[in-house]
């Protein structure tokens, strides 16, 4: 009897051990799947992914505003905004309308008019100029001599400078494919340009922008502040990276097969005396260690990472993430009210918030996600999140650089990348000129036009280098 009981106990114990082993495996699998689900649910508000990657509108991380949603259009009490009328020098034609004599009987005409200004396209918005160079025959040898055409005419060829600049503008700033550009000019103006001709025109634009682009690249190493970001790029199906370097007065794009710190060394040199603003990507760490550069890690990226932790199902992880978010809210609340405080009071407030945040960040729950984030704030590395407190003009976020590179991301989705060295160089130059003109309040089209004129006539190229005050 006792032997039978012992046998049953052994079987039950073995069964319990087997079930516990299965339970442990199931729990581990559940944790793995929950982590995978959380990763797949990341969007632009909880990670570094761009807003264009959001398939659906991300859920609100805070309770929705209970105020009634305002109606579309102008709001009561706001000043009306109307377009400034064209001046007399801008009006090409005036048409006057008056009452017939019978209808105007008994009325005194006034020197006042009800005016409607109308803008219209002309039927043929281009001119065709035929340049003829007379040919001469040598009486003695019979050799044919041709009178020279102006160099700018020879260099431009079929497509003149303004039309070339317009095509370059469509490709650089409007995300248009060659097929779309071809359709535009054929359908709107009746002008047919084959794709090969369009490629030639774009490459002429690229050549005209080579020197202005090179000047801006050379000026990067001398900047006091640079925001840097990178995004993927496909060239003939191969993975490349588009690097964005945003200075206060200009922006440079550089396409490279590498995403490593060697790109930073090649562009900025072995040492860099300014402040680099970027995310927590390893290339910035490596360059910072090798060159001694000062870095401002992006607070916006940090907020997304912390928000991701605060939205997890694990209670201790979510609670820790929410506490970190609380300190970050205090930081930006104080930062946005800086002008209302004395410099001494602001410095004391920010130092208290910095210490409170770091104290909380260095006490993570014993979970891998929390430990990974907390590792960023060990020792002096933590101070690179707060460089903006001691370096004048440094922004706590890299938002402006992310906004600049968004144009490139959209262009990549539309055009599907490039197919060769010439295409990559054009993209670098065109994106750089478009972003820099926007920063400087200049017309992209006009800069392209003037650059082409200088290129076709072998004159000095235009410059986008900021002029010293």
Q: What is the pLDDT of residues 278-293, one digit of tens each?
A: 999 999 989 998 888 8
> What is the model's pLDDT at position 101?
92
Phi, psi (deg, nearest 5) at residue 37: -60, -45
According to the model, what pLDDT value does residue 11 have? 80
* 320 and 385 inside one domain: yes
pLDDT at 21: 84
Residue 34 resides in a domain:
no
Residue 322 lies in a domain: yes
Is 92 within a domain?
A: no
Q: Which of 377, 397, 417 is the last residue of a domain?
A: 397
Judge whether 306 lies within some domain: yes
393 and 314 belong to one structural domain:
yes
CA 75 to chain centre: 31
Please classify residue 309 by burial: count the beta carbons closer than 10 Å to its beta carbon, then call 0-12 exposed, 13-18 middle and 19+ buried: buried
Would you say residue 98 lies in a domain? no
Q: For residue 50, what are the contacts with CB-CB under 8 A and spacing of at least 6? A: 44, 231, 402, 406, 409
Residue 47 pLDDT > 90, yes or no? no
Average confidence (pLDDT) over 314-320: 93
| 257 token code pair | 């097969």
How many angstroms separate the CA atoms of 385 and 402, rounded?
18
Share of the chain above pLDDT 90, in %: 71
Nearest residue to 38 via CA among 230, 318, 366: 318
Confidence band (pLDDT; 50, 70, 90) for 46?
low
Per-residue pLDDT at 30: 78
Last-in-domain residue among 354, 374, 397: 397
Domain shared by 393 and 433, yes or no: no
Q: What is the pLDDT of residue 450?
A: 97
Q: Are residues 379 and 448 in the same domain?
A: no
Helices (H) and strands (E) in the chain — how many of each?
14, 7
Chain centre to alpha carbon of residue 162: 27
Query: Are 357 and 442 within one domain?
Result: no
Helix axis angle, 421-440 to 195-219, nearest 10°: 60
173/34: higher pLDDT: 173
Residue 175 corresponds to which tokens in the numbers above?
A: 């995300």
Q: For residue 53, name the pLDDT band (cuts at 50, 70, 90).
A: very low
pTM over 0.85, yes/no? no
With 70 as the cut, is the pLDDT of residue 167 above it? yes
Please check whether residues 151 and 208 belong to one and the same domain. Answer: yes
Find which of 11-15, 25-29, 381-385 is predicted with most confidence, using mean pLDDT.
381-385
Count of domains for the chain: 2
Q: What is the pLDDT of residue 313?
A: 87
CA dist 368 and 35 (Å) reads 11
Mean pLDDT, range 261-266, rounded to an integer? 95
Q: Which of 52-61, 289-298, 363-372 has the lowest mean pLDDT?
A: 52-61
The end-to-end CA distance of the chain, in Å, is: 102
| Model pLDDT, residue 310 | 92
pLDDT of residue 55: 41
The count of other CB atoms within 10 Å of the CB of residue 122 is 8
Per-residue pLDDT tens over the stretch 217-253: 999 999 999 999 999 999 999 999 999 999 999 999 9
pLDDT at 64 over 60: no
pLDDT at 35: 67
* 23-32, 205-214, 328-337: which is most confident: 205-214
Over range 61-75, report the average pLDDT. Answer: 61
pLDDT grade for 463, boundaries at 50, 70 and 90: very high
Residues 410-427: what's their mean pLDDT?
92
User: Of 373, 397, 421, at which residue does a domain stop?
Assistant: 397
* Residue 386 lies inside a defined structural domain of this protein: yes
Residue-range definition of the domain harbouring residue 182: 146-221+429-456
Which residue would you say has higher pLDDT here, 65 or 449?
Answer: 449
Same domain, yes or no: 362 and 451? no
Instruction: Tell whether the model's pLDDT for residue 145 goes beyond 90.
Output: yes
Q: What is the mean pLDDT of residues 353-377?
A: 93
Confidence (pLDDT) at 5: 64
Give yes or no: residues 313 and 387 share one domain: yes
The pLDDT tens digits of the residues spanning 96-135 come to 999 999 999 999 999 999 999 999 998 899 999 999 999 9
Mean pLDDT over residues 57-74, rounded? 58
User: Does residue 52 carry a pLDDT above 60?
Assistant: no
pLDDT value of residue 67: 53
pLDDT at 467: 77
Q: Is the pLDDT of residue 396 over 70?
A: yes
Question: Does residue 115 form part of some domain?
Answer: no
Residue 54 has a pLDDT of 46
User: Rounded to an integer, what distance in angstroms lies between the CA atom of residue 31 and that of residue 367?
Assistant: 12
Same domain, 150 and 209: yes
Partners of 241 in beta bridges: 232, 256
Which of residues 66 and 387 earns the better pLDDT score? 387
Residue 404 lies in a domain: no
């Amino acid at each position: 009897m006792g032997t039978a009981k012992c046998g049953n106990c052994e079987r039950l114990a073995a069964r319990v051990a087997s079930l516990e082993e299965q339970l442990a495996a199931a729990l581990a699998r559940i944790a793995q799947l929950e982590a995978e689900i959380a990763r797949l649910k990341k969007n632009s508000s909880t990670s570094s992914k761009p807003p264009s990657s959001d398939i659906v509108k991300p859920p609100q991380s805070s309770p929705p505003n209970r105020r009634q949603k305002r109606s579309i259009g102008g709001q009561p009490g706001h000043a009306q905004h109307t377009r400034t009328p064209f001046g007399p020098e801008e009006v090409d034609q005036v048409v006057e309308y008056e009452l017939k004599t019978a209808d105007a009987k008994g009325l005194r005409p006034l020197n006042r008019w009800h005016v409607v200004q109308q803008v219209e396209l002309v039927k043929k918005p281009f001119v065709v100029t035929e340049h003829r160079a007379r040919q001469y025959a040598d009486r003695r040898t019979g050799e044919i001599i041709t009178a020279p055409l102006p160099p700018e005419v020879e260099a431009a060829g079929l497509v003149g400078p303004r039309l070339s600049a317009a095509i370059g503008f469509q490709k650089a700033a409007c995300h248009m494919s060659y097929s779309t550009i071809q359709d535009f000019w054929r359908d709107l103006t009746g002008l047919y340009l084959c794709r090969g001709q369009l490629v030639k025109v774009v490459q002429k634009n690229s050549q005209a922008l080579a020197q202005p682009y090179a000047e801006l690249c050379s000026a990067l190493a001398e900047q006091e502040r640079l925001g840097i970001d990178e995004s993927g790029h496909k060239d003939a199906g191969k993975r490349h990276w588009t690097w964005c370097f945003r200075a206060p007065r200009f922006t440079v794009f550089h396409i490279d097969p590498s995403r490593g710190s060697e790109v930073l060394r090649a562009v900025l040199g072995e040492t860099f005396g300014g402040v680099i603003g970027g995310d927590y990507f390893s290339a910035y760490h490596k360059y910072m260690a090798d060159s001694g550069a000062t870095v401002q890690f992006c607070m916006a990226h940090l907020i997304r990472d912390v928000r991701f932790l605060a939205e997890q199902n694990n209670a201790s992880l979510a609670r820790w993430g929410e506490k970190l978010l609380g300190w970050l809210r205090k930081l930006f609340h104080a930062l946005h009210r800086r002008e209302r405080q004395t410099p001494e009071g602001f410095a004391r407030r920010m130092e208290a918030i910095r210490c409170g945040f770091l104290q909380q960040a260095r006490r993570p729950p014993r979970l891998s996600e929390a430990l990974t984030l907390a590792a960023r704030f060990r020792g002096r590395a933590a101070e690179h999140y707060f460089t903006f407190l001691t370096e004048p003009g440094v922004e706590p976020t890299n938002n402006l650089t992310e906004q600049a590179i968004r144009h490139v991301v959209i262009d990549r989705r539309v055009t599907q990348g490039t197919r060769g060295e010439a295409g990559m160089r054009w993209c670098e130059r065109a994106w750089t000129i478009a972003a820099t003109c926007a920063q400087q309040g200049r017309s992209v089209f006009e800069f392209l036009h003037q650059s082409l004129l200088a290129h076709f006539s072998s004159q000095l190229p235009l410059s986008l280098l900021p002029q010293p005050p």
